[in-house]
Amino acid sequence: MNYVSTRGRAPALSFEDTMLSGLARDGGLYVPETVPQMPAAEIRALHGLSYEETAFRVMRPFVGDTFSDGTFGDLIEKAYAGFGHGARAPMVELAPGHFLLELFHGPTLAFKDFAMQLIGQLFEEALTRRGERVTIVGATSGDTGSAAIEAFRGLDAVDVFILYPHGRVSEVQRRQMTTPSEANVHAVAIDGHFDDAQARLKDMFADDTFRDGVRLAAVNSINWARVLAQVVYYFSAAVSLGAPDRKVSFTVPTGNFGDIFAGSIAKSMGLPIERLVIATNQNDILDRAMRSGDYRTEGVAPSISPSMDIQVSSNFERALFDAYGRDGAAVAQLMDELKSGGGFHVSQGALEALRERFDSGRASEEETSAAIARAHAEMGELICPHTAIGVKVAEEQRDPAVPMVTLATAHPAKFPDAVEAATGIRPALPERMANLFDLEERITRAPNDLSALQDLIQERIRT
Ligand SMILES: Cc1ncc(COP(=O)(O)O)c(C=O)c1O
Ligand SMILES: N[C@@H](CCOP(=O)(O)O)C(=O)O
């Protein structure tokens, strides 16, 4: 199994090299050369399996000979052992035929733990075998950073630097990133918003001297392994609702497009997904692009769903690559237009291909609050603002004949202010995190400036 770049000008790589190198050398994102198929009989055989067994069967064909079956199975077991729910990704029925897939039972209470806990294991195994070390730099609007720090804290072979937008993450998210005391993890608050952090990260990858000098690696959804691990819960959810003998739809609170792209891979593998619905907050570039064909940034407006305050949606590039018939040159041209002019127009053919695969909707701030309040008043569920955006869009768009699964992407206690404002109830953190507000924070402030950030990283990495 090899992986190719969405911009068509970087060498194809194995799973291991794709995972350890992050962004392709031509600035593109890696995708599988061909998507492995899972026939209906194999999907049916997932019924009754544990989450870990399902994960093994779904991901195995993508991994090639990077890990033996025994090792890969053991790493999956270790990855999910610390989750706070036996089912790992349980479902609750919010309304008849409308389900919430709870993806917040991992150590940092967000869906990122599903991939990050696994790639922490995969990195450690691969780096130990190769006798190498890496420097991970990540950009976060709150959840990726805390999940990465949790997954890699204390690892000898890895230094981790997480860039987050100063003042634009929740207090719980910030404390999750700034309170771990291990010397290999660094939370860096930069001026600007998430798109700035992600742009600086991509700039670092484009600087070959820096990239090779610090042996740069990525754990954002730039990294194919992140997307792969997120494919699994589409299978576990759909199978528990009757797939492959019944179609299921999903609504996905979306920012950087990694999670919904994982759903699209599940569909390409053969999972009978009827509709994949993109749900955005007021930073609605994806919804606008799906409606008009014009993908244009308008600045990031802070919202009560800060993890989705994103305009340059990195993984949309992977969807465009498919929509343009895997024409890397066409994608490279669009990405150049985005960088130089702040946007691009999607061709009619590509737009039709995108619309065949994805639907979309948005929720304003008021609609998000109202969805939190409704879920609590009608169903007794406390939901986070990101999940609420999914619920609002799903309620509008769902076909009552097909079960709809909305991804519950974070625990409500990560965003207590928004939940309290909507319901009057302040959700509590789980007992194991009860001392989060007593721990000392280590915060580094830095300008939104490439060379200042590179200097900071070079000063702090351990050799
Ligand atoms: C809680 C939460 N919901 C939704 C999203 C959006 O997911 P994606 O960036 O994969 O589209 C994020 C951030 O990624 C998030 O942290
Ligand atoms: N919402 C994310 C943004 C980064 O997304 P990723 O999936 O590319 O890591 C966050 O919480 O940081």
Instruction: For residue 310, give the ligand 2 atom closest to its CA.
Output: 3
Cα 131 to middle of ligand 1, angstroms: 33
Tokens of 288: 């606008």
C-beta 140 within 6 A of ligand 2: yes
Q: Which domain holds residue 335?
A: 91-106+225-423
- Please indicate whether residue 143, judged by its CB atom, sits closer than 6 Å to ligand 1: yes
Pocket test for ligand 1, best of 300, 305, 307 (most atoms within 8 A of CB): 307
Answer whether 256 contacts ligand 2 (Cβ < 6 A).
yes
Can you give the CATH number for the domain in which 296 is found? Answer: 3.40.50.1100
Closest by CA to 162, choosing from 413, 460, 385, 409, is 460
Cβ neighbours of residue 451 closer than 8 Å, sequence gap 6 or more: none
Q: Is residue 217 part of a domain?
A: no
Answer whether residue 20 is part of any domain: no
- The atom of ligand 2 lying closest to the CA of 110 is 11
**Residue 386 in contact with ligand 1 by CB distance below 6 A:** yes
Stretches where the chain sits below pLDDT 70 are none
Give pLDDT tens digits for 393-444. Answer: 999 999 999 999 999 999 999 999 999 999 999 999 999 999 999 999 999 9
pLDDT of residue 90: 98
Atom of ligand 1 nearest to the CA of 257: 11
Indicate which ligand has the atom closest to the C-alpha of 259. Answer: 1
Whether 418 is covered by a domain: the verdict is: yes
Instruction: Give domain status of residue 36, yes or no.
Output: no
Question: With a 6 A CB cut-off, is 110 part of the ligand 1 pocket?
Answer: yes
**What confidence score (pLDDT) does residue 407 get?**
98
- 94 Cβ inside 6 Å of ligand 1: no
Query: What per-residue confidence (pLDDT) applies to 463?
Result: 76
Q: Does any ligand 1 atom lie closer than 6 A to the CB of residue 194?
A: no
Whether 81 maps to a domain, the answer reads no
The ligand with the least distance to the CA atom of 140 is: 2
Element (H, E) at 224: helix 224-240
Of the ligands numbered here, which is closest to the C-alpha atom of 304?
1
In a domain, 408, yes or no: yes
Total domains present in the chain: 1
For the CA of 140, the closest atom of ligand 2 is 12
ipTM of the predicted structure?
0.99
Distance between Cα 256 and ligand 1 center (Å)? 7
Task: Determine if ligand 1 sits within 6 Å of the CB of residue 360.
Answer: no
Ligand 1 atom having least distance to the Cα of 253: 4
CB distance 172 to 149 below 8 Å = no
Please indicate, yes or no, if residue 337 is contained in any of the structural domains.
yes
Q: Does the beta carbon of 121 lie inside 6 Å of ligand 2?
A: no
339 tagged catalytic: no
Report the alpha-carbon distance of residue 277 to residue 284 in Å, rounded.
13
Of 78, 112, 202, 392, which is the active-site residue? 112
In a domain? residue 443: no
Angle of the 143-152 helix axis to the 171-178 helix axis, nearest 10: 20
138 alpha carbon to ligand 2 midpoint, in Å? 9
- pLDDT for residue 435: 95
- Give the per-residue pLDDT at 174: 98
Are the C-beta atoms of 457 and 161 separated by less than 8 Å? yes
Residue 403 has a pLDDT of: 98
CA 229, 230, 236, 242 torsion: positive or negative?
Answer: negative
